Amino acid sequence: MTQTQKYSSTAITLHWLIALMIAVAFLVGLYVADLELSPWKLKVLTWHKWTGVTIFLLVLFRILWRLSHRPPEMPAGMSDLMKKLAHLTHLAIYLLMVIVPILGWLHSSAAGVSVVYFNLITLPDLVGKDKALSHLFGELHENGAWALVGLVGLHVAAALKHQLVDKDNLLARMRW
């Protein structure tokens, strides 16, 4: 396989690192939301926020990288409709990877808790303390996270279909 048929190794590293971190953030988010208020809950929530902010920063870098590096062409065997659907799904995943962390940050700000990244950098509060708004952002953060994971499920099913049914070795494009 020549270089032009693959993503760059930076894009591949970012893809798998971010995928792993989203899986962790999602599961930890579900776990922490169910805990009663306690020092343990606040500790785990802090880890969740640090992971989420790191994902956010990596995704911003990934988007800049993507815009400045041409991805490989889609497999020749794909119909125009399928190519469009794949592009749309990727775009929606990128959008949600930006929006979901911002909604988490908004949720924290509206709850009156500033996000202190690794106990070092205090992020600006995006909105003032407001209980109703905090509840709304919490709901949107939760729904956004489920939408992201739902689209990733579709994305993984499509990748497996390419690999096992179409046998076009798509996964090799995302392997170092």
Give me the residues that bind ligand HEM (CB under 6 A), please. Answer: 15, 18-19, 22, 25-26, 29-30, 32-33, 45, 48-49, 52-53, 55-56, 66, 71, 74, 90, 93-94, 100-101, 104-105, 107-108, 115, 138, 141-142, 145, 152, 155-156, 159-160, 170-171, 173-174
Q: Minimal distance in Å, beta carbon 136 to ligand HEM?
A: 13
Q: Minimal distance in Å, beta carbon 155 to ligand HEM?
A: 5
Q: At what angle do helices 9-33 and 131-161 cross, to 10 degrees?
A: 130
In order of 13, 27, 69, 125, 152, the CA distances from 113 in angstroms are: 33, 22, 38, 8, 30
* Distance of alpha carbon 163 from alpha carbon 157, whole angstroms: 10
State the CB neighbour count (10 A cutoff) for residue 41: 15
Task: Please say which residue, 88 or 160, places its beta carbon nearer to ligand HEM.
Answer: 160
* Distance of alpha carbon 75 from alpha carbon 10, whole angstroms: 21
Task: Please say which residue, 71 or 112, places its beta carbon nearer to ligand HEM.
Answer: 71
Report how far Cα 139 is from the mean position of its chain's Cα atoms: 17
Which residue in this structure is represented by tokens 């809950």?
41
Answer for the pair 106, 124: CB distance below 8 angstroms, yes or no: no
Assigned token pair, 155: 């994305």
Greatest alpha-carbon pair distance for the chain in Å reads 55
Q: Minimal distance in Å, beta carbon 103 to ligand HEM?
A: 8
Q: Minimal distance in Å, beta carbon 83 to ligand HEM?
A: 9
Task: Please say which residue, 85 or 159, places its beta carbon nearer to ligand HEM.
Answer: 159
Task: Please say which residue, 66 or 130, places its beta carbon nearer to ligand HEM.
Answer: 66
Q: Minimal distance in Å, beta carbon 3 to ligand HEM?
A: 14
